[in-house]
Structure 1
Amino acid sequence: MNKNDLRVLKTKHNIHLVLTNLLKKKPLSQIKVTELCREANINRGTFYFHYREVDDVFKEFFGEIMLDLKESYHEPYRHTDFFDVENIDPKTVRIFHHIKKYEDFYRIIFSKEVSTEYYYMLFDEIRSIFVEDKNMVHHGIPNDYLLSFSANAILGLVIEWSRHDFQETADEMNVQLVNILKKYGNRGDARL
């Protein structure tokens, strides 16, 4: 069966939604295949056709979300070789639209009830996006520290937004980020 088959995509989407709902109630380690199948209204054979264990579902879903995050991060840079903080249009920033799209997932990640393992997985993914950014200016700062600082700056904004129960719109968060970059970023070389 083709992985791009509409039936496969719908089944996997349903399993991802069910996993997200179950993660709101309990940690990943306590979710069993039987429970996931029952809630997703699929049989175990269907589950095992696509996955070996519940962890595989999480990894696949996490990977899809991180791919979307990466695309969202790169959006303001698609049409420019040089990033000028002073002239960035907040409407080109897409990170917060991504967060809003996957709000339930991020509510789980930033919940005080879940393992910090999720946070570090997200941190590592965001950091890896910055690793790929060849335009990041280091100014003599050790690369590892700059990458970690940058990843935590983005996560800090998202955590605070989460603490506000995601009440601000994604566009309002874009403006916040751009204002912070303009005020505290090094002119002409700060990156989102």
Structure 2
Amino acid sequence: MSVDLRVVKTRERLHESLIALLKEMPLEKIKISVLCQRAQINRGTFYLHYESIDALFADFFEQIIADLREAYLEPLRTKSPLKIKELDPKTVRIFHHIKKYESFYRIVFSKNVPLAYYYMLLEQITLNLQQNTKATHVDNDYFIAYQANAIIGLALQWAQRDFQETAEELSEILVKILRSKSE
């Protein structure tokens, strides 16, 4: 089944316009008419794809989370169970994901947006960890919370440094941190 390129392009324009507007105002203040004007489409076209701004955001967020899930699972594809001493930084793809969606993460990590975006991201990272973390000698909920916040902490620091380092450098940093914790 072939994908209609016009549909793909329209959705991309809507996602880009949504991100641009989220830099200016919270999600609940974005109007369909303003979004359509920014995306250079008419309201009818918008309604062919989405029923509301919330549905557009949910679709975009799901696209980001699906990519995040894939990035998180990448090191597990080569070695399962994963051993920190054998972890190859080249298989760590989470920072490549963040770089790919940098404009979204700049919004999530900015001080001007509601914490709801941050918590949505934290929830998804936590779900990924829950599905792929074995029980430890520590209460698993706390262990997973620690790991999820550590990943977000690195990403947040990277954003505060204006994404100066490459995704590869961040992967190296993460592996060094993990190895130093396991020694």
- The residue aligned with 1:190 is none
Is 1:22 equivalent to 2:18 in the alignment?
no
TM-score (norm 2): 0.95
Tell me the C-alpha RMSD between the 2 structures: 1.5
CA distance in 2, matches of 1:117, 1:82: 33
Is 1:108 equivalent to 2:72 in the alignment?
no
Structure 1 unaligned residues grouped into runs of 5+? 188-192
Q: How far apart are 1:93 and its partner, in Å?
A: 0.8
SS in 1 for 2:150: helix
Q: How far apart are 1:99 and its partner, in Å?
A: 0.5
CA distance in 1, matches of 2:140, 2:7: 41
Any idea what the Cα deviations from partners look like across 1:138-162, whole Å, max 9, x if unmatched?
A: 3232222122111101000001111
CA distance in 2, matches of 1:82, 1:130: 14
* Contact preservation (8 Å) 1:138, 1:146: no
Q: How far apart are 1:3 and its partner, in Å?
A: 9.5
CA distance in 2, matches of 1:174, 1:96: 7
TM-score (norm 1): 0.91
Any idea what the Cα deviations from partners look like across 1:134-192, whole Å, max 9, x if unmatched?
A: xx23323222212211110100000111111110110110110000000013x6xxxxx
Any idea what the Cα deviations from partners look like across 1:95-131, whole Å, max 9, x if unmatched?
A: 1010001000000000000000000000000000011
Q: How far apart are 1:10 and its partner, in Å?
A: 1.0
| Identical pairs, percent | 49
* Contact preservation (8 Å) 1:3, 1:9: no
CA distance in 1, matches of 2:167, 2:88: 14
- The residue aligned with 2:43 is 44
Aligned pairs for 1:54-65 (under 5 A) are: 54-65=53-64
CA distance in 2, matches of 1:84, 1:141: 18
Any idea what the Cα deviations from partners look like across 1:20-67, whole Å, max 9, x if unmatched?
A: 111111111111000000110111011111111111111110100010
Is 1:174 equivalent to 2:165 in the alignment?
no
Is 1:93 equivalent to 2:92 in the alignment?
yes
Aligned length: 183
Aligned pairs for 1:139-178 (under 5 A) are: 139-178=136-175
Q: Which amino acid aligns with 1:66?
A: I
- The residue aligned with 2:6 is 7
The one of the two structures with greater contact order (alpha-carbon pairs below 8 A, sep at least 6) is 1
- The residue aligned with 2:127 is 128
CA distance in 2, matches of 1:143, 1:76: 21
Structure 2 unaligned residues grouped into runs of 5+? none
CA distance in 2, matches of 1:89, 1:118: 31
CA distance in 2, matches of 1:137, 1:128: 13
* Contact preservation (8 Å) 1:66, 1:125: yes
SS in 2 for 1:132: helix
